[in-house]
């Protein structure tokens, strides 16, 4: 059964806004455990020579990490953040080559916005690269802590893995694995013709199932779009979910909409984007007349009811649960059984 916003299950103590650390063990078993409150070390003071980066770990200038597209983060989100006190609570401002919390060497600055830095970093303990986010937006920290904690509890393999979460000097440090595959936005931008309907059903079905699981674990600020949905060899992956309170809401949802209804609208918006071969960033208005003439009836109905669109002057009956959404979608083919021709018409 699907819960609404008031019926979300309570999070365990890991979702507390108190300092929490979710360390990864020396053996990469991909299982994060809570070890209690830790006293985080500070970044070493003094000069910051680039020599602290091992030569073998220096990034190739020709390779630019793309964890967050340049237009993905917005100063406003579906859950507005009012009066962010940038620089008041957040005092952690590392630079290229520094080592954060005695473990992560900062290699490439991917993105910088008021209240946020995103880095590609190198984990010196596990000898592997990762993504490291520094959030010093004081009002967003409790929400981000809750979302990141919910992701750890979910242990969902269709979400970019959260490896460590720590609060230090008014800054939230979030370490995640690297994103896999390509964003759906990139796929749509590089292909003239739309996806086959079988592939669309598979992407939508796996995304809806993942969203159901995350909502049951306590996610309250879904931020699904063609930017955050990535296509991999094994299926879909939802990226940047820990930062969802800071991400732009792309579906055009009305303020105050419930969590599950927001997830339904975002899934329907992604469906509309796939059918019209248009990334979420390029369209915020929807019309049934713009759907391709060969759109299957069930996909047309999902767009109409999920986005509450009129058809021939008749208003749509909105959906209220993800269970209804998945029932209307029907059966879908797992990714490992799709054929290459299912992706491009």
Tokens of 284: 């915020």
List pLDDT tens digits, range 223-252. Answer: 999 999 999 988 899 999 989 888 888 899
Looking up tokens 């230090």 gives 168
Asked whether the beta carbons of 236 and 206 are under 8 A apart, the reply is yes
Q: What is the pLDDT of residue 226?
A: 95
For 124, counting Cβ atoms within 10 Å of its Cβ (0-12 exposed, 13-18 middle, 19+ buried), the class is middle
In angstroms, the Cα distances linking 3 to 7, 52, 87, 107 are 5, 49, 37, 42
Pairwise pLDDT comparison (222 vs 269), residue with the higher score: 269
Q: Is the pLDDT of residue 218 over 90?
A: no
Is the whole model's pTM more than 0.75, yes or no?
no
Highest mean pLDDT among 6-10, 64-68, 210-214: 210-214
pLDDT-derived band at 122 (thresholds 50, 70, 90) equals: very high
DSSP 216-277: HTT------STTTEEEETTEEEE-SGGGGGGB---S-PPTT--HHHHHHHHHHHHHHHHHHT
Neighbours of 31 (CB within 10 A): 11
pLDDT-derived band at 335 (thresholds 50, 70, 90) equals: confident
List pLDDT tens digits, range 3-55. Answer: 444 444 443 333 333 333 433 333 333 333 333 334 444 434 443 333 223 33
Q: How many residues does the chain have?
A: 345
Asked whether the beta carbons of 292 and 273 are under 8 A apart, the reply is no
């Amino acid at each position: 059964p699907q819960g609404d916003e008031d019926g979300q299950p309570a999070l365990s103590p890991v979702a507390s806004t108190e300092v929490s650390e979710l360390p990864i063990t020396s053996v990469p078993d991909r299982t994060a455990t809570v070890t209690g409150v830790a006293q985080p070390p500070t970044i070493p003071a003094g000069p910051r020579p680039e020599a602290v980066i091992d030569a073998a770990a220096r990034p190739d200038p020709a390779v630019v990490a793309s964890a967050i597209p340049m237009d993905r983060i917005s100063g406003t989100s579906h859950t507005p953040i009012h009066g962010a006190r940038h620089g008041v609570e957040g005092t952690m401002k590392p630079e290229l080559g520094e080592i954060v919390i005695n473990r992560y060497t900062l290699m490439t600055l991917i993105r910088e916005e008021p209240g946020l830095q995103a880095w590609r970093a190198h984990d010196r303990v596990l000898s592997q690269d990762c993504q490291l986010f520094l959030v010093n937006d004081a009002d967003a920290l409790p929400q981000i802590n809750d979302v990141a904690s919910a992701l750890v509890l979910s242990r969902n393999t269709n979400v970019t893995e959260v490896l460590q979460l720590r609060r230090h000097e008014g800054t939230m440090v979030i370490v995640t694995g690297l994103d896999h595959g390509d964003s759906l936005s990139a796929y749509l931008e590089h292909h003239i013709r739309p996806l086959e309907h079988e592939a669309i059903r598979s992407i939508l079905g796996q995304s809806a199932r993942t969203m159901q699981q995350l909502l049951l674990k306590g996610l309250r600020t879904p931020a699904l779009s063609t930017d955050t949905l990535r296509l991999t060899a094994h299926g879909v992956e939802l990226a940047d979910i820990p930062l969802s309170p800071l991400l732009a809401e792309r579906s055009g949802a009305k303020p105050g909409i419930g969590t599950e209804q927001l997830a339904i609208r975002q899934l329907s918006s992604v469906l509309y984007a796939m059918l019209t071969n248009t990334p979420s960033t390029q369209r915020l208005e929807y019309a049934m007349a713009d759907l391709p003439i060969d759109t299957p009836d069930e996909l047309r109905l999902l767009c109409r009811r999920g986005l509450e669109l009129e058809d021939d002057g008749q208003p749509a009956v909105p959906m209220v649960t993800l269970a209804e959404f998945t029932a209307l979608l029907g059966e879908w083919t797992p990714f490992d059984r799709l054929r290459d021709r299912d992706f491009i018409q």
